[in-house]
Amino acid sequence: MTSVIEFRHVSKQYQFGQTQTSLREALAGLGRRLSPFGKTRREDHNFWALHDVSFQVQAGDILGLIGHNGAGKSTALKLLSRVTKPTSGSIVTRGRLAALIELGAGFHPDLTGRENIFLNGVILGLKEREIKTQFDSMVAFAGLEKFIDTPVKRYSSGMYVRLAFAVAAHVQADLLLIDEVLAVGDTAFQQKCLDKMRELHTQGVTLVLVTHNLWTVESFCNRAILLNQGQIQAEGLPGEVIQAYRQNERQGLAAGEPAAEAVEAEKASGEDETTVITRVELLDKDSHPRQSFEAWDRITVRAHYRTLEPIQSPFLIVRITRSDGVVCCRASNNREPHFAARRLEGEGCFEVTIGPLPLMPDTYTLEAHIADNQRPVVHASSSKYTFQINGDLGDPGEAGVFWVDAEWKDPEPIR
């Protein structure tokens, strides 16, 4: 089978503070070097984004690149698309290539959606007549018929990525590279993109996908590579590679901060500025802080808050999400009318005990939210708390969120 990508002992080195991957950034860097206030750092401050990485992608593959932030995934895609050059090693790609790596790359903010389709299409290698032939299909796919003659600087980030993906998906490329930018779209559009990528795959297009959505990798890709600190840690069937990724998460969690450590408060879009969740604790049945539990354990969540203005009708939510983004369960105080009527003010904490939780062994994220029953507003959120359910991660092919009790009967022949 023909290799459409050959990564041969590829390394990429960057200097701290040096981010030039385009002509514009290189010129800006030159200006800093010429300035008496912009001296660059010495060679000993370099780091390797990728180090001696080798792999091949065969025609017709759907390859998923996974790994934690900074593992080297996006660097690999930039090298493949020739946005930047390797420090050492060689890269071979065969056939027409299209890349969706950076949101709105190649778009001019002052041009309309229509004008940017032609501009971006030419950048991706389409001829003008090809763009004209597929123009209506691109616009329909993006769902931007009403806004196609509006300057894209007035587009939302979701509209941006819809238009960018629509153009890239109609390039009729042999190889399509896609970075995590699809996460910007809503769920319906993400599904639409996956359906389009399946359609392209049936037409013989080879795809390389960078994503943190492990479910997408397991259900969509036929191969996966796990990058860790710029090197390949695992390569093969998606289920096996995902298992290695999750094992990394568990080891990182085991070496992490104590469970009672304060979780940094975060602000999400739409939240007010007067309330924060300052700390979240997970407690076992003896009220001891824990980061790991057994399946069927009861878990007590204690969330500390501070509010400058009283919240008269608090809507308190706790949600557990698996490492691949699957929402496992949610609890709220709306089922407790006497509790929902109690207002929050000053500093305090709220507590809820969940379970028994028959969760499969894996890594999970706990989210706590303070909303309002009287107004459509989220006052505060905290979603940085990670814990694990102990046990063997199981065979790669196993799926599911919960253990369930099942009663089987012996098979009986039909008479």
What is the pLDDT, as a whole number, of residue 147? 93
Residue 359 near residue 294 (C-beta atoms within 8 A): no
Which is it for strands 206-210 and 175-178: parallel, antiparallel or unpaired?
Answer: parallel
Q: Quick one: 3-252 is in which CATH superfamily?
A: P-loop containing nucleotide triphosphate hydrolases (3.40.50.300)
Q: Which of 17-21, 77-81, 256-260 has the highest mean pLDDT?
A: 77-81
What is the pLDDT, as a whole number, of residue 135? 94
Nearest to 22 by CA among 91, 122, 106, 115: 106
Q: Poorest-confidence range of 42-46, 187-191, 196-200, 368-372?
A: 42-46
Percent of the chain past pLDDT 90, that is, above it, reads 28
Q: Quick one: 275-389 is in which CATH superfamily?
A: abc- transporter (atp binding component) like domain (2.70.50.60)
What's the chain's average pLDDT? 80
CATH 3.40.50.300 residue ranges of the chain are 3-252
Residue 292 near residue 390 (C-beta atoms within 8 A): yes
* Residue with more model confidence, 172 or 113: 113
Determine how many CB atoms are found less than 10 A away from the CB of residue 15: 15
Chain centroid, CA 312 distance in Å = 36
In this model, does residue 395 exceed pLDDT 60? no
Tell me the sheet residues that pair with 359: 402
What is the pLDDT, as a whole number, of residue 118? 92
Sequence length of the chain is 415
> Helix and strand tally (H, E) in the chain?
9, 17
CA–CA–CA angle 97, 109, 75 (5° rounding):
40
Q: Which of 192-196, 254-258, 271-275 has the highest mean pLDDT?
A: 192-196
- The span from the CA of 274 to the CA of 375, in Å, is 15
pLDDT tens digits along 136-183: 999 998 889 999 999 988 888 778 888 888 888 888 888 988 887 666
Q: Give the helix ranges, DSSP H, for 88-156.
A: 113-123, 128-142
Greatest Cα pair distance in the chain:
93
In this model, does residue 248 exceed pLDDT 90? no
Determine how many CB atoms are found less than 10 A away from the CB of residue 128: 10
Helix, coil or strand: residue 12: strand
As a whole number, mean pLDDT of residues 352-370 equals 89
As a whole number, mean pLDDT of residues 337-346 equals 69
- In this structure, what are the phi and psi dihedrals at residue 238, rounded to the nearest 5 degrees? -55, -45
pLDDT tens digits along 14-67: 876 555 555 555 555 655 555 555 544 444 467 889 999 999 999 989 999 998
Strand extents, DSSP E, 220-325: 223-228, 231-236, 275-283, 292-293, 297-311, 314-322
Chain centroid, CA 318 distance in Å = 21
Residue 350 near residue 303 (C-beta atoms within 8 A): yes
- The span from the CA of 319 to the CA of 340, in Å, is 17
CATH 2.70.50.60 residue ranges of the chain are 275-389
State pTM to two decimals. 0.64
